[in-house]
Chain A
C-alpha cells in the first residue's frame, strides 16, 4: 500500500502500476471477463430468459439442446437456459451475502480482539481456534443442522463458516496498526477508543479485508451450492444451480444437459474469482511470478 503511494507521488520514471500489471496478466483478464459476463447475465436475467423459470410443459420434456432452447429442457419441460440465467443471480447473491456477513462479524470480533488484547483477545482467539477445528464444510454443515434447510440459512451458515478467517486477518492487521505512531499520537491527544477504532484503524485495515472477502466469494459460492446439492439449501422450484444439478442426476444417462449446464455455471463462477485472485497474487507478490 505504502509502496503504491510512493509511486504515485514519485517524480522520476514511473514503474508500471498495479493496474498495468494486471492488464498484462492473462489469468486475471480471463477471470475478469468470465466474471463480468456472469454479472451481466445476472443483471439482465429477465431480458435473457426466454421463459418463466417455473412454467412446465409436460409435452416438451428432455428436449436436447437446440437453437431455440439452447440448454434443452428438463424432466418436466422447463427451459434450462431460463433457469440457468436466474440461477446466476442466486449463486452470486449467496456468495456475496455470505461474505458480507462473514466480513462484518469477523472484522468486528477481530478488531475488538486486536485492539483490547489481553483477556478478550484470548477468549475470542480461542473461539476462532475452536471454529477452525471444523475443517472444510463441516462448520457450515453443523450450522445448517441447527438452523434447518433454506437458502437464507445457507447464507448464514456459509457466512458463519468464514468468520474465523476474517477475524484472524482483522486481528493481525489491528495488531500491526496499533503500534504505529499516529495511533499513539491520537491517543495522546485524547481520542476515544471508538474514534481511534473507526477513524484511524478501520480505514487502514479495510483493504486486506475487502480483498479477502472478494476472493472468498468463490469458496462461498462453492459451499452454498454444495449445501443445496445435499438438499439442505434452496427450496423446490428455486432455480438454484446446486439443486438443479442434483435433481438432474436422476436422468444423467439420458439427459446429461439437465445437470451439466448448472454445474458449468457454478464452476465458471468459482473459476473466475480464483483466476482474479491468482492474478492479484502474481502482481502483489512477484516472487511466484
Chain B
C-alpha cells in the first residue's frame, strides 16, 4: 500500500521531469519583450490594485469610455452616454459589433456582470470597490443600453470608467474559470493572453479581430505588434542588464543611475512622465508624541531636502514633491506647494521653540529627558530608494529615527494602532478625489482605516465628502485646492517625490506615448524596420 504511493509519486516526478523539456523559443520579428518590475497579482479588472495589473489589464480589456493623454473622453465600448441632472445615473449606448476573445458577443449583460463584480472586488487587494463605494446597480435596458445607478452624485465616474478596474470582462469566461478567472482573463482588448508562466513572464498575442479602437488612437484595426512578452525582472539592475543585452527592447523603471547616463546615447530612447494623483509622501501622525506638536511636524518638513533626495535616490527621474498631490494632477494648488522649502535653520528654530534641545551632545534633541524620537514603519518595496536618506536628514536635524521594515499587512496594523509618527502613502490617480481615501477622518477607525494622520478637521472632511458630488468643475477644483492648503498648513504631510513613469526603449521602437497615468499605449507601438 505504502509502496504503491511511493511508486505513484516517483511516476509523477518522472512525468514532471519530462514535462520540463521546454517549449521551443520563438523568434517573430514583430514580437516585443518588455521588462517590468513586479508580476501582476491577478489580471481580473475587478481584482487588481497595483501598477503591473493596470499595465496588462489595459492591453487585454477595453473600457466603456477611453481617455486620451489630455484626459478628454472618447467613446470606446460605449458609443455615447448621458448623465442625469443630479449626476447619479449614467446611461450608456453600447457598440453592437464587439466580440470577446472567447468569441462571445459583448452586450449590456457583460457590463452589468463586470460592474457587479467590481463593486465587490475579487481579491483582497482590489482597487475597484473603493471607486464603487456608492454603487447601487446596473440596469440592463436592452442589449445595447445600460443605466448605472449610484446612491449619490458621482462626479468622477466618467473618468473612473477609463481606468482598468472598470473594464469589461467576458461573462462566459468568468463563469467558466470561477475563482481562477484572474489567471485566464478574457476581454475585448487589442491583445489576448497567450501564456502566463508565474515568476517568469506573460505573453500576449494580437487580437486579429480588433476593429473597435477608440477614435483618438492614431490607427484603427488590430494592434501593430504580433506578440508582447512581459518579463518579470524584480531588480532594477537586472532590468537594465536585460535591456543592454537585447533580451528586452523596452524596460519599465530601469536602474535610474544607468538610465540617466543613457540619455546621451542615440540608440536609446528615454521616456518619462510625472504621474498624477497623490505624491509619495509621509503621513504625519497628529496623535502620537512628538508629532502631536505642529512645530515638530513643520520642523520635519523643513528638515528634508526633497530636491537632493530626488537627485540621489532617483537621479532626478522621480521629481521632488512639495505638495500632497503632484503638479500633473488636475486641481493642483501651486500656493500649497510653496509653504515649505528645505531650511534646516528654520527646523532647528521650531524645535527649540517647542523646547527640544540637545543638551547631552549625542546629536539627538531631548525634552524632559525624552528623546525626540520618530517611529517610521517602512515598506521597502516602495521606500527602499529613499528611506535611509530621509532618516539621515531627520537625524541631522536632531531626530532619533527608528525604521521598522514591514509588509503590507504589518504596515496597516502598525498604522491602525497609531504606533507610527510617519508612514508613507501615495496613490496614482487621475483626480484629486483620491485624497478622500486617506484624509477623510472617517477612515481613521472605520472605512479603509488608512487615514494614518489621524487628523480630524470638520472643514477637510466636508470638502472631501462634497467635492466628489460637485458636478460643477470649477467649484470642485476650488474645493480640492482648499483641501491641499489645509493639509499642508497643518503640516500633516511630508512630501517626498512625485511618482514618475520611466521607460527606456530601443531606438527602433516607434509610436510610444503615455496615457494619462503614465503607461504607454501598446496598441500604437510598433517596431520600425531596420
Contacts and interface: CB of A to CB of B under 8 A. Distances in A.
Asked if chains A and B come from one complex, the reply is yes
Contacts of A148: 410
A252 interface: yes
A122 interface: no
Nearest to A148: B410
Interface string B281-324: 00000000000000000000000010011011100000000000
Interface in A251-276: 251-254
Contact of B405 (A55, A77, A149): A149
Given A231-B380, A253-B237, A254-B257, A76 B410 contact: no
Interface in B391-413: 391-392, 395, 401, 403-406, 410
Contacts of A58: 305, 308-309, 311-312, 389
A61 B312 contact: yes
A252 B237 contact: yes
Nearest to B401: A237
Interface string A38-65: 0000000000000000111010010000
A152 B255 CA distance: 32
A250 interface: yes
Contacts of B142: none
A231 B406 CA distance: 10
Given A55-B392, A235-B404, A236-B403, A75 B312 contact: yes
Contacts of A253: 237, 240-241, 255, 258
B96 interface: no
Contacts of A237: 388, 391, 401, 403
A249 interface: yes
Interface residues of B, number: 29
A47 B494 CA distance: 37
Given A56-B388, A235-B403, A236-B403, A250 B312 contact: no
Interface in B470-512: none
Interface centre among A149, A237, A249, A254 (most CB of B within 10 A): A237
A248 to B, nearest CB: 10
Contacts of A252: 237
A76 B236 contact: no
The A interface is mostly helix, strand or loop, or mixed, namely loop
A56 B389 CA distance: 7
A61 B391 CA distance: 16
B351 interface: no
B143 interface: no
Interface string A107-149: 0000000000000000000000000000000000000000011
Interface in B233-259: 235-237, 240-241, 255, 257-258
Given A58-B389, A237-B403, A254-B257, A249 B312 contact: no
Contacts of B241: 253
Contacts of A149: 405-406
Contacts, number: 61
A233 B309 CA distance: 26
Nearest to A232: B405
A126 B387 CA distance: 46
Contact of A76 (B257, B389, B403): B389
A115 to B, nearest CB: 34
B235 A249 contact: yes
Contact of A250 (B236, B392, B403, B406): B236
Interface in A1-24: none
A249 B237 contact: yes
Interface string A220-235: 0000000000010001
B392 A236 contact: no
B405 A235 contact: yes
Contacts of A247: 384
B388 A250 contact: no
B211 to A, nearest CB: 44
B258 A254 contact: yes
A235 B255 CA distance: 23
B378 interface: yes
Given A55-B392, A237-B391, A251 B405 contact: no
A273 to B, nearest CB: 29
A54 B395 contact: yes
A236 B389 CA distance: 11
A204 B388 CA distance: 50
A236 B405 contact: yes
Contacts of B308: 58
Nearest to A74: B388
Nearest to B410: A148
Interface in B78-118: none
B419 to A, nearest CB: 15
Contacts of B240: 253
Contacts of B391: 54, 236-237
Contacts of B305: 58
Interface string B354-393: 0000000000000000000000001010001001110110
A215 B500 CA distance: 50
Interface centre among A58, A231, A254 (most CB of B within 10 A): A58
Contacts of B258: 253-254
B388 A236 contact: yes
A55 B363 CA distance: 12
Contacts of B384: 247
A22 B313 CA distance: 51
A58 B390 CA distance: 11
Contacts of B404: 235
A54 B392 contact: yes
A75 B236 CA distance: 14
Contacts of A56: 388-389, 392
Interface centre among B258, B308, B313, B405 (most CB of A within 10 A): B405
A96 to B, nearest CB: 24
Given A148-B410, A237-B401, 9 more contacts: A55-B395, A58-B311, A58-B312, A61-B312, A231-B405, A235-B403, A236-B391, A251-B237, A253-B237
Interface of B: 235-237, 240-241, 255, 257-258, 305, 308-309, 311-313, 378, 380, 384, 387-389, 391-392, 395, 401, 403-406, 410
Interface of A: 54-56, 58, 61, 75-77, 148-149, 231, 235-237, 247, 249-254
Which 8 residue pairs across A and B have the least CB separation, nearest first? A56-B392, A236-B403, A58-B312, A76-B389, A58-B308, A250-B237, A250-B236, A235-B405
27 contacts: A54-B388, A56-B392, A58-B305, A58-B311, A58-B312, A75-B313, A76-B313, A76-B389, A77-B312, A149-B405, A149-B406, A231-B380, A235-B403, A235-B405, A236-B387, A236-B391, A236-B403, A236-B405, A237-B388, A237-B391, A237-B401, A247-B384, A250-B235, A250-B236, A252-B237, A253-B241, A253-B258
